């Protein structure tokens, strides 16, 4: 049903890249269970993920950068902003005099890292992280590395964007001073 709707929208589902994950609530036991429910798309069966299976993190940093570029281009168009509008202005928080548009390149790895930290705290409070969790945390931390520093929290991301915004204002002021317009 979903694939036929998507087809009407001009989208085709690639069943080779799909998985299902069916979670059923058990109210009496006050928990949930993962069920082995199979679905098909265009005659191809979609594998079901079970509790111990791992899901490959498909989104790459380059994909997130491309999405950010697309989002910024649309915001520039919708708000009639000049092409040379600072990237930092678009992504900086509103309280920092930016537009507050989330930077996917930084926010998605940070959210994943926070989820992994929370899982570690909730389930492994007395045991060290397993190899998979350590590797995934390392991948997220690598993706949060920017030229100047390694970002570790939402506050770090906000400060980084504010610093970039302040530097872009300084650059504009210097150019205006140089042309005797300020």
Distance, CA of 173 to CA of 182 (rounded, Å): 7
Average pLDDT of the chain to the nearest whole number: 80
pTM: 0.59
Q: What are phi and psi of 166, to 5 degrees?
A: -60, -40
Count other Cβ atoms within 10 Å, centred on residue 151. 22
The pLDDT of residue 79? 93
Name the DSSP letter for residue 130: P
Residue count of the chain: 182
Q: Which two tokens stand for residue 71?
A: 């989002």
Per DSSP, helices labelled H in the chain are: 2-8, 61-78, 87-91, 104-123, 131-143, 154-178
Q: How confident is the model at residue 182 (pLDDT cuts 50, 70, 90)?
A: very low
The pLDDT of residue 181? 47
CA nearest 17: which of 53, 56, 50?
56
* Tens digits of residue pLDDT in 6-59: 777 777 778 787 888 777 777 887 777 778 888 888 788 888 876 666 555 556
Please measure the distance between the N-terminal and C-terminal CA atoms of the chain and give it in whole angstroms. Answer: 61
Give the relative orientation of helices 104-123 and 154-178 as an angle to the nearest 10 degrees.
160
Per DSSP, helices labelled H in 16-84 are: 61-78
If DSSP codes are grouped into helix, strand and coil, which group holds residue 123? helix
Distance, CA of 59 to CA of 6 (rounded, Å): 21
If DSSP codes are grouped into helix, strand and coil, which group holds residue 35? strand
Answer positive or negative: Cα dihedral of 140, 142, 143, 147: positive
């Amino acid at each position: 049903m979903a694939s036929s709707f998507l087809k009407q929208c001009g989208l085709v589902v690639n069943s080779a890249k799909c998985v299902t994950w069916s979670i059923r609530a058990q109210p009496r036991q006050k928990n949930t269970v993962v069920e082995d429910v199979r679905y098909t798309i265009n005659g191809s069966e979609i594998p079901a993920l079970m509790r111990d299976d791992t899901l490959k993190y498909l989104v790459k940093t380059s994909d997130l950068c491309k999405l950010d570029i697309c989002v910024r281009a649309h915001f520039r168009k919708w708000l009639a902003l000049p092409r040379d509008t600072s990237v930092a202005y678009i992504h900086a928080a509103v309280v920092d005099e930016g537009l507050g548009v989330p930077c996917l390149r930084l926010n998605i790895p940070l959210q994943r890292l926070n989820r992994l930290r929370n899982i570690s705290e909730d389930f492994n409070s007395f045991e060290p992280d397993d190899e998979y969790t350590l590797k995934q945390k390392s991948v997220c931390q690598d993706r949060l590395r920017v030229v100047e520093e390694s970002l570790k929290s939402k506050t770090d991301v906000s400060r980084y964007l504010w610093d970039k915004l302040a530097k872009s204002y300084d650059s504009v002021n210097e150019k205006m001073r140089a042309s005797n317009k300020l």
